[in-house]
Amino acid sequence: MINVSGFPLCAKRLQFQRAKLNDDGMTHYWAAVAVATDLDDEKLTKFGGFDFNDMSEDNGQKLLGRLELFIKAGLANRKAKSGAGDMTAAETSIRAFLGSNGVKVSKLNGIEDYWRAARILWGDLVQESPKVRDVYTLVFQLNRIPKKQRPKTARANVSKLPQEWRAKP
């Protein structure tokens, strides 16, 4: 079993992907590959410092470190603004959560708005961290809210959303 606790943002992405870190074939290199699959190749190239040709354990740890910096820099939150085909699975999930609970997601402009809408709809059940505000953390927190409680709490708070964010009933 590999330990990725030194790379908390990468670890969250792997957790969201349900990567099996205790699998015999899982190495730091393959964990880095799994993290990188959701990220924009063009932005990774611009950021630089990634050599996926070297499959060694040392390089795997270096890759995880670079990916951690890349995510921390906020460059990984959105692949592109052009449409749903470019969204990560986590962003699609967030948009579905919000849309099914009365939010007009087409009016939201990225992760900051997703967090704000979630905080309005679910209040203290969604805890923001000033350090980590990515889609993976938000999906994780929304999944922790009991299924039956999600719509009930959201319906009670939907009127608190800005008017332009509210879906028409």
CA-to-CA distance for 123 and 118, rounded, in angstroms? 7
Half-sphere exposure of 104 (CA within 13 A, CB side): 12
- Specify whether the CB–CB gap between 41 and 48 falls below 8 A: no
From residue 79, give the alpha-carbon distance in Å to each of 47, 68, 84, 104.
Answer: 14, 16, 10, 21
CA-to-CA distance for 49 and 126, rounded, in angstroms? 34
Map out the domains of the chain as residue ranges. 8-72, 84-165
- Fill in the DSSP letter of residue 120: H
Asked if the model's pLDDT at residue 17 lies above 60, the reply is yes
| Arithmetic mean of pLDDT over the chain | 85
The pLDDT value recorded for residue 130 is 63
Region 103-112 average pLDDT: 88
- Specify whether the CB–CB gap between 61 and 29 falls below 8 A: no
pLDDT tens, position by position, 123-143: 988 887 766 667 888 888 888
> Which tokens sit at 75?
């460059």
pLDDT tens, position by position, 18-64: 889 999 889 999 999 999 988 888 888 888 889 899 999 999 999 99
The pLDDT value recorded for residue 46 is 85
The pLDDT value recorded for residue 75 is 56
High-pLDDT (> 70) share of the chain, %: 88
Asked if the model's pLDDT at residue 84 lies above 50, the reply is no
